[in-house]
Amino acid sequence: MQKYLTLADGTQWIGTAFGDRSIEGAGQLVFNTGMTGYQETVTDPSYLNQLIAFTAPLIGNYGIDPTVNQAATLGTQAVIVHELTTFSDHYTSRQTFDNFLTIHHVPGLQGIDTRELTIHLRQTGTQAAILSNQPILNFDAKFASLPLKALTPQSLPVALPKPTQPHIVVIDFGEKTAITTALIKRGCQVSILPATSSLKHIQAYQPDGILLSNGPGDPQQYPAALPLIRQLANRYPLAGICLGHQLLARAFGAKTYQLTFGHHGLNHPVKDLATGQVWMTAQNHDFAVDPASVTTTPLQITTIELNDGSVEGLRLPGRPVMSVQFHPEAHPGPLEAGQFFDQFIQMLHHQEVSANA
Ligand SMILES: NC(=O)CC[C@H](N)C(=O)O
């Protein structure tokens, strides 16, 4: 069965269907350059209502491991690959990628040159796209006819904290499981609360620290969260990751903007401005903090991306508050930036963030 990928600029790619053959998808088309980690990527809630094209030439070759999902449901609108492997004999695999997408009602397109598509997106910028079962006659009408997906809230909060363990409340904007796991692995107890929670409600959990999670969409779409974030940052040690970082910036008056084609991959070098140390990081974002706007706020830039110089980290001098644009929890990706969580846990003891945080 043929499937048609049509971009807002009218360009079209034709390939073969996989995943849920009957379903069509529409949203922003992004490319991901990771050589591995397709399962963590398609289950990452930050890809809500996006179509993901993988530049790696072979996808699906180690199957699906039920333990690595980043969320229980898939928010992605479609998956686009060059070549799909239809069998997998890896020892952790329990099903094929094709079958996994079918069960989760996500359509796929295989057999197109995703590197050519990526070059096109790098030249024209991120744009809307539709994966359809028939050629498209009217892009806008078809786009409007296809349903948007909604986020499924993460698991319920855990029981009251044990006095011996630091208790972290994660504010859930679309939290990835690996963030919670990274905190639990470091001895924390974690409660996940909806982003609509009131300060009073959060305080009732008696947190030792707050983590603002990653999440989908434009950070401008979350104005209601900003007063809460300011209140939390003034009361608790606080860390932000990706969307959480962007919202922390906005809460203190900085601006965010859309990158031309986003950062979606596993080998983005970032530099710690205090130490000069460079980490290879996993990234997944289309928006970024405007560095010029940070100078008008109490925040300080701590880290930058070496490919394009974009802002990768912030701190609030005098308060145990810091954030990163990249994904220290990785999954997929390199784990070397995981020290962000160690610094966060140090901060819980009400220490000022060290200059290299
Ligand atoms: N992974 C994230 O939290 C992504 C943040 C935001 N949705 C962006 O695309 O920039």
Cα distances (Å, whole numbers) of residue 278 to 239, 267, 272, 289, 311: 20, 12, 6, 20, 14
* Fold adopted by 167-355: Rossmann fold (3.40.50)
pLDDT value, residue 231:
98
Give domain 2-145's CATH number out of 3.40.50.11810, 3.40.50.720, 3.50.30.20, 3.40.50.300.
3.50.30.20
The verdict on whether residue 246 carries a ligand-binding annotation is yes
Segment (H or E) for 98:
helix 97-103
CB 115 within 8 A of CB 82: yes
Which residue minimizes the CA distance to atom 3 of ligand 1? 214
Q: Which atom of ligand 1 is nearest to the CA of 244?
A: 3
Q: Which atom of ligand 1 is nearest to the CA of 259?
A: 10
Task: Reduce the DSSP state of residue 143 to 3 states and report it.
Answer: helix
Task: Reduce the DSSP state of residue 142 to 3 states and report it.
Answer: helix
Query: CA–CA separation, 102 vs 351, rounded Å?
Result: 49
Segment (H or E) for 194:
strand 189-194
Cα distances (Å, whole numbers) of residue 255 to 4, 218, 249: 37, 12, 7
- DSSP for 217-286, written as a single string: S-GGG-TTHHHHHHHHHHHS-EEEETHHHHHHHHHTT--EEEEEEEEEEEEEEEEETTT--EEEEEEEEE
The verdict on whether residue 323 carries a ligand-binding annotation is no
User: Closest by alpha carbon to 2, among 129, 132, 145, 103?
Assistant: 132
Query: CA–CA separation, 176 vs 20, rounded Å?
Result: 24
Cα distances (Å, whole numbers) of residue 25 to 22, 260, 291: 10, 22, 35
Pocket of ligand 1 (CB under 6 A): 46, 214-217, 242-243, 284-287
User: Closest by alpha carbon to 33, among 57, 55, 61, 59?
Assistant: 55
Q: Which of 76, 177, 218, 242 to mutate to test the pocket of ligand 1 (most atoms within 8 A of CB)?
A: 242
pLDDT value, residue 354:
42
User: Closest by alpha carbon to 113, among 63, 56, 177?
Assistant: 56
Q: Which atom of ligand 1 is nearest to the CA of 241?
A: 3
Q: Which of 46, 175, 221 to mutate to test the pocket of ligand 1 (most atoms within 8 A of CB)?
A: 46
Q: 């706007």: which residue's tokens? A: 293
Q: 């492997």: which residue's tokens? A: 85
Query: CA–CA separation, 142 vs 147, rounded Å?
Result: 10
> In 128-209, where does DSSP find H-type helix?
139-145, 177-185, 199-204
Which residue minimizes the CA distance to atom 5 of ligand 1? 243
Q: Do domains 2-145 and 167-355 have the same CATH topology?
A: no
Q: Which of 48, 218, 221, 243 to mutate to test the pocket of ligand 1 (most atoms within 8 A of CB)?
A: 243
CB 107 within 8 A of CB 21: yes
**What is the domain partition of the chain in residue ranges?**
2-145, 167-355
CB 42 within 8 A of CB 69: no
Quote the DSSP letter at residue 337.
G
CB 60 within 8 A of CB 85: yes
pLDDT value, residue 353:
45
Q: pLDDT tens string for the chain (357 positions)?
A: 999 999 999 999 999 999 999 999 999 999 999 999 999 999 999 999 999 999 999 999 999 999 999 999 999 999 999 999 988 889 999 999 999 999 999 999 999 999 999 999 999 999 999 999 999 999 999 999 999 999 987 665 565 666 788 999 999 999 999 999 999 999 999 999 999 999 999 999 999 999 999 999 999 999 999 999 999 999 999 999 999 999 999 999 999 999 999 999 999 999 999 999 999 999 999 999 999 999 999 999 999 999 999 999 999 999 999 999 999 999 999 999 999 999 999 999 765 444 333
pLDDT value, residue 152:
81
ipTM score: 0.98
For residue 300, how far is its CA from the centre of ligand 1 (angstroms)? 20
Cα angle value 325/331/335 (rounded, 5°): 75
For residue 286, how far is its CA from the centre of ligand 1 (angstroms)? 6
Q: Tell me the two tokens of residue 234.
A: 């003034």
Cβ count within 10 A of residue 96: 18
Q: Tell me the two tokens of residue 212.
A: 């603002």
Catalytic machinery residues = 242, 327, 329
The verdict on whether residue 243 carries a ligand-binding annotation is yes
pLDDT value, residue 156:
55
Q: Which atom of ligand 1 is nearest to the CA of 284?
A: 1
Phi and psi at residue 42, in whole multiples of 5°? -70, -15
